[in-house]
Amino acid sequence: MNRTSGELARHLGANLEGDANLLLSGVASPEQARAADLIYVDSPRHGARAESSAAMCVIAPPRMRLRAKTIIESSEPKLAFAKAAAWLLPRATPAPGIHPSAIVAPAAQVSGSACIGPHVVIEDSAVIGEKSVVQAFCFIGARSRVGAGCWLHPRVTLYAGSRLGNRVELHSGVVIGGDGFGYVFGEGRHWKFPQVGEIEIGDDVEIGSNTAMDRGSLGLTRVGSGTKIDNLVQVAHNVQIGEHSIIVSQTGISGSCTLGNRVIVGGQAGLGERCHIEDGAIVGGQSGVLPDKKVRSGQIVWGTPCRPLDRFRKQFAWLERLPELAARLRRLESGPLKEDRDCS
């Protein structure tokens, strides 16, 4: 969709310096951009990249000037660029309707404005909201609810009773509402603990490919509105995740953990059962949070077992020096021993 630089500036509520009639048709990096593409820079140190780019329009910090470029000023260029991309390149929505190969139970409720793709299965009493898209080979279990404006990419599975809010996006291979990993050992064998709880996903949540989220064992697993979860994440039963949090790929969250609002968990982190991550805390990549551990609000922790970032850095610095320290220790130990031998 072609828009002008002036229209974009008005859409963003931003000041424009330069030609308000430039046509914009896409977004790109400075190195890959064409003349009609929009680019951004978030610091004067990247000015040379923008000036050498073929793009004619740049989102840049206020008072930053670039030779022969039209500038849309923003104190948060990356955020403005994301908003601009969504406005310039709106996602095409498939036409509403149910594909002939889809299997829809008579008791299911599917909005007339929803799009149901090939070979989708929708079981009894499931509900699909307005303008939602359910792509090929998805499975929507009995009594599941999909809100308005959701997008389920191919091969998403919702177990029975799963509940999605509005504008939820689930990428390929996501499994919502499977049984948690709960067993009790007795009489020489493992007995399965009941996994009969529920799972609820809030509004504007996005979950990456092949992530699995278990239903509650007896209670509720819940993800708050605005939270974003990467690919290949495991969320166990009874986990509570707050609003606008970020969970990066290959993280494992054990049963009954609670994560507050605006929490960030780095890739490959492991959270032990019943740990509590308070609002605004950050758990670094590959960190291990021990069971029942509490990470305080706003705290940054790293390492296994996790510890405050400043302490982790100091300990890691000493760890890097271990070969040198070991050599010094060997010299210190060998000196007195040699003297003792000489005295004898």
- Catalytic residue positions, numbered: 237
Taking the C-alpha atoms of residue 158 and residue 189, their distance in angstroms, rounded to an integer, is 30
The residues, ordered by sequence, that sit 6+ positions from 73 with a Cβ below 8 Å of its Cβ are 14, 15, 16, 17, 59, 60, 61, 62, 63, 64
| CB contact at 8 A, 304 and 285 | no
Q: Phi/psi of residue 103, each to 5°?
A: -110, 110
What is the chain's Cα-based Rg?
27
Please tell me whether the peptide bond between 77 and the residue prior to it is cis, using omega within 30 degrees of 0: no
The residues, ordered by sequence, that sit 6+ positions from 9 with a Cβ below 8 Å of its Cβ are 15, 16, 20, 72
- Torsion region of 70: left, alpha or beta (phi above 0 gives left; psi -120 to 50 gives alpha): beta
Edge-to-edge strand list for the sheet holding 139-140: 103-104, 121-122, 139-140, 157-158, 175-178, 212-214, 234-235, 252-253, 270-271, 288-289
| CB contact at 8 A, 177 and 214 | yes
Handedness of CA 85, 88, 89, 94 (dihedral sign): positive
| CB contact at 8 A, 74 and 61 | yes
The residues, ordered by sequence, that sit 6+ positions from 38 with a Cβ below 8 Å of its Cβ are 8, 24, 26, 27, 28, 55, 57, 58, 59, 81, 84, 85, 88
Taking the C-alpha atoms of residue 131 and residue 113, their distance in angstroms, rounded to an integer, is 5
Residues in the chain: 344
